[in-house]
Amino acid sequence: MSCLCWDVLIVLAVIFLAVWLYFQYSYQYWASKGVPYLPPKFPYGNNNRIFLKSTAFASEAKDWYDAFKKQGHKFGGVWSFSRKVLVLVDPEYIKDILTKDFQFFIDRDVFSNEKYDPKGTHLFNISESGWKPLRQKLTPTFTSGKMKMMFGTVLGCSNFMIDFMKKSTSSGLDIDIREVLASFTTDVISTVAFGVESNSFDDSLNDIRRYGRTLFQKLTPGLALRVFLGRSFPELAKKLATKGMRQETQDFFEMIVKSTIDYRRKNNVSRPDFLQLLMDMNQEPQNSDKYVSFDQIVANTVLFFIAGFDTSSTTMTFTLYELARNQQLQEKTRTEIVKVLKKYDGQITYDSLREMVYLQQVVDEAMRIWPPLVSLGRICTKDYTLRDTDVTIEKGTAVVISTLGIGRDPEYFPDPEKFDPERFSSENKAKLHPYVHLPFGEGPRNCIGLRFGLMQSKIGIIRILTNFRLTISPKTKMPLTVDPTFFLLKSNETLYLRAEKL
């Protein structure tokens, strides 16, 4: 072997040894602080799934939650490769981190690169310095008045879905309900976020649907590397100018936003949608508290698309799945819907949704078992001591809350796999700890679009239940299991339903 080869091998060996020593040093961290921990394995730490699809923690957080819960701990330490992560188990500590002591945990544990990727920096991932001003600017776009303004648009989009389902049922076809609902939410978000009329049921490969799918694509080597760096070495990822989204996808959505804005301004067109609200803010003086830049418009319309498209379709998918498995509960839900709509001359209105109390219980119970976000992550932004302990969480430490784990914890929800909407009756809900059901997060940085998400989900469910009786198709492989690789909930199995026209 040549001297050059030996030199290369020696250098690689030295690098490996240095990395190994660094990891071993890191792996002493939680023990040195007296925090219970799960034994890590070099080099993965406690990541039992490598190169996950998201820079946020996926369903592995449930494994950590269950392990610490079984050991009787209120919190515990793990590692993502060499990165330190604190797992919260006790809901009182969850309340402290999300609400009571929020000022210590302002940042979400989601990668962003504000310097090199302004069009990829939005309300969900923006850091401490820019979060509050942006939240204050966008909050008025999600008031009840604005929801009422967009209600008719959302309701109109549901017609495409119902027409498609009627054609499918008349042909005796089973329905891939997730795909149907994803097409519905794509049409909704295309209209209210980008101002683009879309019918994904006639053209399932339209550009918005196609590029929307790339946001949830399978891992490519390049994406795997970006995810790995953003998740385990975020500071290095920022220095390397790493972006969270494919450039091609970002360019497509930017093109849609720009062309729509140019068309509306040139032709003096105004529409009751999210994009119009942002356009109006863009016209404010730049020193105004209401002003948003073009980059912010692009970033937050993309966020609105991601959040409104996936979380709402997930909520509807699993709500209808549970109702298809429980015919009595399906009929009870339908009966309430029909009864309320009679008061409104059979018309679905914004106010009628508020009177459907049992429907809300059904949706809450579906989100308990199948939370759209399977984990919540925060970053400690300044040193913080956990209440009633001498444990200090140091600045920069990640904190994770498993919504999937706590929602299926038998201590709070006996027989947790059972679908029982009565858990969320007004009487029973009052007995629950307020931080064991967190489908939209909690505290000052909860989901800003929760009203829109619930409105969209309820419209979809109401339209389907008033037109069809649903059952599970034999094609569906049961029981459903959770895709462990993504922090947005998805089942490994395709969920097929049979729909009988009423």
- Strands 496-501 and 175-176, by their bridges, are antiparallel
Binding site for heme, by residue number, is 447
Q: Tell me the per-residue pLDDT of 220-242, one tens digit each, with 9 for 90 and over.
A: 666 666 666 776 777 777 777 77
Q: What is the pLDDT of residue 487?
A: 65
CA atoms of 43 and 426, how far apart (whole Å): 48
CA atoms of 97 and 225, how far apart (whole Å): 30
SS3 102: helix
Residue 401 bridge partners (DSSP):
88, 376
Q: DSSP secondary-structure letter at 392?
A: E
CA atoms of 366 and 138, how far apart (whole Å): 28
Contact by Cβ (8 Å): 112, 121: yes
CA atoms of 137 and 151, how far apart (whole Å): 22
Contact by Cβ (8 Å): 489, 169: no
For residue 101, give the nearest of 111, 89, 109, 93 by alpha carbon: 93
CA atoms of 422 and 111, how far apart (whole Å): 38
- Tell me how far the alpha carbon of residue 54 is from its chain's centroid: 11
CA atoms of 466 and 391, how far apart (whole Å): 54
Give the CA angle between residues 424, 428, 433 to the nearest 5°: 90
The structural architecture, per CATH, of the domain 33-501 is Orthogonal Bundle (1.10)
Amino acid at 62: K
- Measured N-to-C along each axis, helices 177-194 and 274-282 cross at an angle, to the nearest 10 degrees, of 30
Left (φ > 0), alpha (ψ -120 to 50) or beta: where does 173 sit? beta
Q: DSSP secondary-structure letter at 105?
A: -
Residues 6+ apart with CB under 8 A from 110: 55, 56, 124, 125, 377
Q: What is the pLDDT of residue 216?
A: 56
Q: Which residues of the chain have pLDDT under 50?
A: none
Cis peptide before 416 (omega within 30 of 0): no
Amino acid at 25: Y
Cα torsion at 98, 102, 105, 111 (round to 10°)? 70
Q: What is the pLDDT of residue 2?
A: 61
CA atoms of 173 and 201, how far apart (whole Å): 15
Q: What is the pLDDT of residue 287?
A: 87
SS3 163: helix
- Tokens, residue 180: 């149907």
Q: What is the pLDDT of residue 378?
A: 95
Contact by Cβ (8 Å): 175, 202: no
Domain ranges of the chain: 33-501
Binding site, by residue number, is 447
Helix, strand, coil % in the chain, rounded to nearest 5:
55, 10, 35
Q: What is the pLDDT of residue 97?
A: 97
For 33-83, what is the HEC assignment? CCCCECCCECCCECCCCCCCCCCCCCCHHHHHHHHHHHCCCCEEEEEECCE
Q: Exposure pattern of 47-86 as b/e (b: 16+ CB <10 Å)?
A: beeeebbbbbbbbbbbbbbbbbbeeebbbbbbbbbbbbbb
Q: What is the pLDDT of residue 4?
A: 61
Measuring CA to CA, how many Å separate 146 from each of 136, 151, 153? 15, 9, 12
**pTM for this entry:** 0.91
Residues 6+ apart with CB under 8 A from 125: 108, 110, 111, 112, 244
CA atoms of 236 and 55, how far apart (whole Å): 14
CA atoms of 335 and 330, how far apart (whole Å): 9
Q: Exposure pattern of 139-178 as b/e (b: 16+ CB <10 Å)?
A: eebbeeebbebbbebbbebbebbbebbeebbeeeebbbbb
Q: What is the pLDDT of residue 3?
A: 64
Q: What is the pLDDT of residue 389?
A: 96
Q: What is the pLDDT of residue 209?
A: 65
CA atoms of 88 and 394, how far apart (whole Å): 15
- Tell me how far the alpha carbon of residue 217 is from its chain's centroid: 15
